[in-house]
Amino acid sequence: MKVVNIFRFLLAALIAGLSSFACAQAPSAMVLSVEGDVSVKVQGKPTKLEAFTRLLEGDRVELGKTAKLNMIYTRSSRQETWTGPGAILAGNAESTAVNGKPQLEAKQLPAKVAQMMAHTPASDSTGKAGMVRLRAVTQPDELSSLEKSYQELRATADANDRNPEVYFLAGLYKLGEYERVTQQISVFEQQYPGDAAIKVLAKLYTRSINNVRQSSR
Protein backbone atom coordinates (compact mmCIF):
# COMPACT_ATOMS: atom_id res chain seq x y z
CA MET A 1 0.00 0.00 0.00
CA LYS A 2 2.85 2.34 0.89
CA VAL A 3 4.52 1.60 -2.45
CA VAL A 4 1.33 2.54 -4.30
CA ASN A 5 1.04 5.80 -2.36
CA ILE A 6 4.67 6.67 -3.06
CA PHE A 7 4.15 5.94 -6.76
CA ARG A 8 1.08 8.18 -6.84
CA PHE A 9 3.00 10.95 -5.09
CA LEU A 10 5.89 10.74 -7.54
CA LEU A 11 3.52 10.68 -10.52
CA ALA A 12 1.65 13.74 -9.25
CA ALA A 13 4.93 15.57 -8.65
CA LEU A 14 6.12 14.72 -12.16
CA ILE A 15 2.89 15.97 -13.75
CA ALA A 16 3.02 19.16 -11.70
CA GLY A 17 6.63 19.71 -12.69
CA LEU A 18 5.90 19.22 -16.37
CA SER A 19 2.92 21.57 -16.17
CA SER A 20 5.00 24.25 -14.50
CA PHE A 21 7.72 23.86 -17.12
CA ALA A 22 5.19 24.16 -19.95
CA CYS A 23 3.67 27.29 -18.44
CA ALA A 24 7.09 28.82 -17.89
CA GLN A 25 7.98 28.25 -21.53
CA ALA A 26 4.83 29.85 -22.92
CA PRO A 27 5.59 33.25 -24.51
CA SER A 28 4.63 36.05 -22.15
CA ALA A 29 5.48 39.13 -24.21
CA MET A 30 5.63 40.25 -27.83
CA VAL A 31 8.19 42.74 -29.13
CA LEU A 32 6.57 45.54 -31.12
CA SER A 33 9.62 47.50 -32.22
CA VAL A 34 13.36 47.73 -31.65
CA GLU A 35 15.76 50.63 -32.12
CA GLY A 36 19.52 50.40 -31.68
CA ASP A 37 21.46 47.58 -30.05
CA VAL A 38 19.01 45.23 -28.32
CA SER A 39 19.73 41.54 -27.76
CA VAL A 40 18.37 38.52 -25.89
CA LYS A 41 20.28 35.44 -24.82
CA VAL A 42 19.30 32.27 -26.70
CA GLN A 43 20.99 29.13 -25.37
CA GLY A 44 23.53 31.36 -23.67
CA LYS A 45 24.42 33.36 -26.78
CA PRO A 46 23.40 37.01 -27.38
CA THR A 47 20.99 37.22 -30.32
CA LYS A 48 19.78 40.40 -31.95
CA LEU A 49 16.17 41.03 -31.01
CA GLU A 50 13.70 41.65 -33.83
CA ALA A 51 10.21 43.10 -33.96
CA PHE A 52 7.42 40.59 -33.22
CA THR A 53 9.74 38.13 -31.53
CA ARG A 54 8.09 36.45 -28.54
CA LEU A 55 9.82 36.62 -25.17
CA LEU A 56 9.64 33.93 -22.52
CA GLU A 57 9.39 34.57 -18.83
CA GLY A 58 12.96 34.80 -17.54
CA ASP A 59 14.49 36.07 -20.80
CA ARG A 60 17.19 38.66 -20.17
CA VAL A 61 17.24 41.52 -22.67
CA GLU A 62 20.28 43.78 -23.00
CA LEU A 63 19.83 47.35 -24.23
CA GLY A 64 22.74 49.39 -25.53
CA LYS A 65 23.13 53.11 -25.06
CA THR A 66 20.08 54.99 -26.43
CA ALA A 67 18.58 51.65 -27.55
CA LYS A 68 14.80 51.41 -27.33
CA LEU A 69 12.50 48.41 -26.93
CA ASN A 70 8.72 48.53 -27.27
CA MET A 71 6.86 45.42 -26.11
CA ILE A 72 3.49 44.21 -24.92
CA TYR A 73 2.41 41.64 -22.35
CA THR A 74 -0.74 40.20 -23.87
CA ARG A 75 -1.94 38.56 -20.64
CA SER A 76 -1.83 41.76 -18.60
CA SER A 77 -2.39 44.13 -21.57
CA ARG A 78 0.64 46.12 -20.40
CA GLN A 79 2.73 47.94 -23.00
CA GLU A 80 6.28 48.87 -22.05
CA THR A 81 8.86 51.07 -23.74
CA TRP A 82 12.39 50.69 -22.36
CA THR A 83 15.33 52.95 -23.20
CA GLY A 84 18.90 51.83 -22.51
CA PRO A 85 21.53 51.39 -21.44
CA GLY A 86 20.82 48.49 -19.12
CA ALA A 87 19.21 45.08 -18.93
CA ILE A 88 15.69 43.89 -18.17
CA LEU A 89 14.19 40.54 -17.28
CA ALA A 90 10.93 39.48 -18.91
CA GLY A 91 8.29 38.38 -16.43
CA ASN A 92 4.82 36.90 -16.65
CA ALA A 93 3.00 40.24 -16.76
CA GLU A 94 5.72 42.91 -16.70
CA SER A 95 9.48 43.41 -16.97
CA THR A 96 12.04 44.20 -14.28
CA ALA A 97 15.26 46.18 -14.61
CA VAL A 98 18.18 44.00 -13.51
CA ASN A 99 21.23 46.01 -14.59
CA GLY A 100 21.98 49.67 -15.17
CA LYS A 101 19.20 52.23 -15.11
CA PRO A 102 17.05 51.67 -18.20
CA GLN A 103 14.15 54.11 -18.40
CA LEU A 104 10.60 52.76 -18.53
CA GLU A 105 7.37 54.17 -19.92
CA ALA A 106 4.35 51.92 -19.41
CA LYS A 107 0.69 52.12 -20.30
CA GLN A 108 -2.34 49.87 -20.14
CA LEU A 109 -4.08 48.79 -23.35
CA PRO A 110 -7.68 47.57 -23.63
CA ALA A 111 -7.67 43.81 -23.07
CA LYS A 112 -9.39 43.05 -26.39
CA VAL A 113 -6.75 45.05 -28.27
CA ALA A 114 -3.83 43.30 -26.58
CA GLN A 115 -5.37 39.86 -27.06
CA MET A 116 -6.03 40.50 -30.74
CA MET A 117 -2.49 41.78 -31.31
CA ALA A 118 -1.22 38.47 -29.95
CA HIS A 119 -2.46 36.77 -33.15
CA THR A 120 0.31 38.48 -35.13
CA PRO A 121 2.61 35.84 -36.69
CA ALA A 122 5.88 35.51 -34.78
CA SER A 123 9.27 36.32 -36.25
CA ASP A 124 10.95 33.40 -34.44
CA SER A 125 10.46 29.79 -33.40
CA THR A 126 8.89 30.66 -30.03
CA GLY A 127 5.69 31.74 -31.73
CA LYS A 128 3.34 30.07 -34.17
CA ALA A 129 4.15 31.78 -37.44
CA GLY A 130 3.60 28.61 -39.42
CA MET A 131 0.46 27.51 -37.62
CA VAL A 132 -2.18 26.23 -40.03
CA ARG A 133 -5.51 28.00 -39.72
CA LEU A 134 -8.72 26.80 -41.29
CA ARG A 135 -10.42 29.53 -43.26
CA ALA A 136 -13.55 30.56 -41.43
CA VAL A 137 -16.67 32.08 -42.92
CA THR A 138 -16.44 35.67 -41.76
CA GLN A 139 -19.67 37.22 -40.60
CA PRO A 140 -20.26 40.77 -41.92
CA ASP A 141 -20.76 42.13 -38.41
CA GLU A 142 -17.39 40.71 -37.28
CA LEU A 143 -15.53 42.48 -40.06
CA SER A 144 -17.52 45.66 -39.56
CA SER A 145 -16.77 45.64 -35.83
CA LEU A 146 -13.07 45.10 -36.49
CA GLU A 147 -12.92 47.96 -38.98
CA LYS A 148 -14.76 50.27 -36.58
CA SER A 149 -12.42 49.40 -33.72
CA TYR A 150 -9.41 50.05 -35.94
CA GLN A 151 -10.71 53.46 -36.98
CA GLU A 152 -11.30 54.38 -33.34
CA LEU A 153 -7.81 53.27 -32.35
CA ARG A 154 -6.23 55.11 -35.28
CA ALA A 155 -8.11 58.30 -34.43
CA THR A 156 -6.74 58.38 -30.87
CA ALA A 157 -3.22 57.00 -31.44
CA ASP A 158 -0.09 59.02 -32.14
CA ALA A 159 0.92 59.29 -35.79
CA ASN A 160 3.95 57.03 -35.24
CA ASP A 161 2.07 54.47 -33.15
CA ARG A 162 1.56 51.26 -35.15
CA ASN A 163 -0.59 49.47 -32.55
CA PRO A 164 -3.77 50.13 -34.57
CA GLU A 165 -2.23 48.58 -37.69
CA VAL A 166 -0.90 45.58 -35.75
CA TYR A 167 -4.37 45.12 -34.25
CA PHE A 168 -6.20 45.40 -37.57
CA LEU A 169 -3.96 42.99 -39.48
CA ALA A 170 -4.08 40.46 -36.63
CA GLY A 171 -7.87 40.69 -36.61
CA LEU A 172 -8.14 40.12 -40.36
CA TYR A 173 -5.72 37.22 -40.09
CA LYS A 174 -7.69 35.64 -37.26
CA LEU A 175 -10.87 35.89 -39.35
CA GLY A 176 -9.14 34.12 -42.24
CA GLU A 177 -9.33 37.19 -44.48
CA TYR A 178 -5.97 36.50 -46.10
CA GLU A 179 -6.61 38.43 -49.32
CA ARG A 180 -7.70 41.41 -47.28
CA VAL A 181 -4.55 41.15 -45.16
CA THR A 182 -2.41 41.33 -48.30
CA GLN A 183 -4.41 44.26 -49.67
CA GLN A 184 -4.30 46.13 -46.38
CA ILE A 185 -0.54 45.72 -46.08
CA SER A 186 -0.19 47.36 -49.51
CA VAL A 187 -2.36 50.23 -48.27
CA PHE A 188 -0.24 50.64 -45.15
CA GLU A 189 2.97 50.55 -47.19
CA GLN A 190 1.66 53.50 -49.20
CA GLN A 191 0.42 55.35 -46.13
CA TYR A 192 3.62 54.80 -44.12
CA PRO A 193 6.47 54.48 -46.66
CA GLY A 194 9.66 53.11 -45.15
CA ASP A 195 8.04 52.30 -41.80
CA ALA A 196 10.09 49.55 -40.12
CA ALA A 197 7.14 47.84 -38.41
CA ILE A 198 5.09 47.68 -41.60
CA LYS A 199 8.05 46.16 -43.45
CA VAL A 200 8.39 43.39 -40.85
CA LEU A 201 4.63 42.78 -40.77
CA ALA A 202 4.57 42.45 -44.57
CA LYS A 203 7.28 39.79 -44.43
CA LEU A 204 5.68 37.86 -41.56
CA TYR A 205 2.18 37.80 -43.01
CA THR A 206 3.40 36.90 -46.49
CA ARG A 207 5.29 33.92 -45.07
CA SER A 208 2.48 32.82 -42.79
CA ILE A 209 -0.25 33.09 -45.44
CA ASN A 210 1.91 31.19 -47.93
CA ASN A 211 2.34 28.43 -45.34
CA VAL A 212 -1.42 28.23 -44.85
CA ARG A 213 -2.10 28.05 -48.58
CA GLN A 214 0.54 25.39 -49.19
CA SER A 215 -0.76 23.24 -46.36
CA SER A 216 -4.31 23.38 -47.73
CA ARG A 217 -3.34 21.99 -51.15
pLDDT, one tens digit per residue, over 116-162 is 999 999 886 444 333 333 344 557 799 999 999 999 999 999 999 99
Claim to verify: residue 97 and residue 146 sit in the same structural domain = no
Claim to verify: residue 159 and residue 97 sit in the same structural domain = no
Domain membership flag for residue 55 = yes
Domain membership flag for residue 16 = no
Domain membership flag for residue 12 = no
Q: Looking at residues 202-216, what average pLDDT do you find?
A: 90
Domain membership flag for residue 122 = yes
Claim to verify: residue 48 and residue 140 sit in the same structural domain = no
Claim to verify: residue 138 and residue 209 sit in the same structural domain = yes
Claim to verify: residue 197 and residue 122 sit in the same structural domain = yes
Domain membership flag for residue 13 = no
Please give the tally of structural domains in the chain: 2
Contact, 90 vs 69, CB < 8 A? Answer: no
Claim to verify: residue 138 and residue 204 sit in the same structural domain = yes
Claim to verify: residue 196 and residue 120 sit in the same structural domain = yes
Regarding pTM above 0.85, the answer is no
Domain membership flag for residue 79 = yes
pLDDT, one tens digit per residue, over 171-188 is 999 999 999 999 999 999
Q: Examine residue 85 and say whether the peptide bond preceding it is cis (omega within 30 degrees of 0).
A: yes
Claim to verify: residue 78 and residue 115 sit in the same structural domain = no
Claim to verify: residue 63 and residue 126 sit in the same structural domain = no
Claim to verify: residue 202 and residue 144 sit in the same structural domain = yes
Q: How far apart are CA 28 and CA 91, in angstroms?
A: 7
For the chain, how far is it from start to end, CA to CA, in angstroms? 56
* pLDDT at site 138: 57
Q: Looking at residues 57-80, what average pLDDT do you find?
A: 96
Which is higher by pLDDT, 93 or 213? 93
Domain membership flag for residue 6 = no
- CB-count exposure of residue 81 (10 Å: 0-12, 13-18, 19+): middle
Claim to verify: residue 102 and residue 118 sit in the same structural domain = no
Domain boundary among the residues 71, 87, 108 is at: 108
Burial 33-70 (b: 16+ CB within 10 A, else e): bbeebbbbeeeeeeeebbbbbbbebebebbbeeebbbb
Domain boundary among the residues 86, 108, 130 is at: 108
- For residue 35, the enclosing domain spans 27-108
Domain membership flag for residue 100 = yes
Claim to verify: residue 166 and residue 181 sit in the same structural domain = yes
Domain boundary among the residues 62, 91, 108 is at: 108
